[in-house]
Structure formats: C-alpha cells, structure tokens
Amino acid sequence: MKCLIAAAGQGTRMREKGEVKPLIELNGVPIIERVIKNLRAGGIDEFFVTTGYRGTKVRAFLDLLAERENISITHVINEDWVKPNGVSVLKAKEFLTGPFVLTMCDHLFDPEIIKSLLSHEHETDTVTLCVDYNIENPVVDLEDVTRVNCTRNHIENIGKVIRDYNAFDTGIFYCNEIMFEALEKSAAEGDESISGAMNILGSMDKARTFDVEGRLWLDVDDPTAFGKAIVYVDEGRL
C-alpha cells in the first residue's frame, strides 16, 4: 500500500525545538522517521513525501533513511509551500493512482489505526477520514484541532472553527484519485486546504469516516504537544 506524507510547511510553532520540523528529534529519532516507521508497522510499504520548506535538507535525510531501512521513498516537491496543505497533496497527483493513505509528517499514531484502516472495506470513489469521537480527549489541542460534524458514513462539515462538531480529524485519510478532483474543485472555489476538499466530498456524499476507537494519536504541532509526545514515546505508546 502507498502512503503520501505532507511535509512541506514551515512548522513555525515548533521553531524553538528545531528549524526543520520533520527532522526535530523525539528521543533521538526525527519525527518524520517515527511517522514512517509507524506506517510501516501498520502495513504501508511505499512512501511519497511532499517537501517544501528546507526541502533539500529533508530530502537528504529521507534518502539516507530509505537506504538504511530499505524503504521506497519518492520525493514530491512543493515550491508553493507557503500555501495551504491541500497544495502539497495536489502536487502528488501525477505520482499516485489507485488507493493510498494520506497523513502529515507531524502526526504520530498507534500503528493499529493503519492496520484497521487497511483491512476495512472502502467504497469506490470515496475518501475516508479517520476520526476520534472522544471530543473530551485530553491529548487534543482544542485551539488547533480540526473539528468534524459527521455520522459513521457521512461528513456534514469539517474545519478548525466550526461550532457544531462531534469528532476530531486525526489527519489520517484513505484516498484515491477523487481526492485530487476535490482538491482542484475546492481550490477553484478559493479554498486550497485538505478540509476544503473534504467539504466538497461531503457535499457529493463521497466522504466517509473511520472510528479510531480510542487509539492514541497526537499532532506534534507545538512545544506542549512535543512534551506529550516525549512522555508517550518513553512509555512505548508512540
């Protein structure tokens, strides 16, 4: 199974921990390496990584990682890395056909989420978002998390500032080519984010949800989340 990892942004809120966010180390291991190893443990065997900010440095590390761990990693370059995250996904359109998992370079998670997602039966021409229905989850940063108003089979609305929500976006998706179509349509309407594409898919009844069932996930997006990640890594949970 293929996986696309978005790793093009600046990561300004993590700057005190390191200049290049994907390469910031958690107990001696770069965040992006931990993400890739968790994905491999979940059943992913081919990787595509979109890089942008300080991309040369990130790609050099990924080349070394690929050789050291015998991993297939293909570089996707996003020169428009200042734009929203949907642009990083759309840059991979020419590289990906068929189903693929999409995630972010700073999202750590229990590999069992990926195993369950891959074993799930997915509808043709839909995109599935892994969601956390525990909206009291103390790990989650309510000021930054993307919120979702959804049922088990349909996404009504998704965004960081929506008030009516019953789940959190974990940043893990099961995609196919329809994701690129939705990204293009959303961009044409002025929204270049992944959430914009998911709202387009929701309006087409092409967006599905997958419950992570309380499994651990963490967006390492600021120093507070970094501190939590250190604890969970020490405990062997991430």
Interatomic CA distance for residues 104 and 212, integer angstroms: 16
Containing 118, the helix (H) or strand (E) segment is helix 111-119
Q: Six-digit token pair at 66?
A: 């690929």
Interatomic CA distance for residues 208 and 147, integer angstroms: 15
Q: Please give the pLDDT value at position 129.
A: 98
Q: Please give the pLDDT value at position 147.
A: 98
Q: Please give the pLDDT value at position 211.
A: 97
177 and 236 Cβ atoms separated by less than 8 Å = no
pLDDT in tens, the chain (238 residues): 999 999 999 988 888 888 999 999 999 999 999 999 999 999 999 999 999 999 999 999 999 999 999 999 999 999 999 999 999 999 999 999 999 999 999 999 999 999 999 999 999 999 999 999 999 999 999 989 999 999 988 999 999 999 999 999 999 999 999 999 999 999 999 999 999 999 999 999 999 999 999 999 999 999 999 999 999 998 988 8
Instruction: Enumerate domains of the chain plus CATH numbers.
Output: 2-234 (3.90.550.10)
Q: Please give the pLDDT value at position 238.
A: 86
Q: Please give the pLDDT value at position 50.
A: 98
Q: Please give the pLDDT value at position 12.
A: 87
**For the chain, how are helix, strand and coil distributed in percent, rounded to 5?**
35, 25, 40
Q: Please give the pLDDT value at position 224.
A: 93
What are the Cα distances from residue 131, in Å, to 22, 37, 103, 108, 117?
A: 23, 21, 13, 14, 11
pTM: 0.96
Q: Please give the pLDDT value at position 13.
A: 86
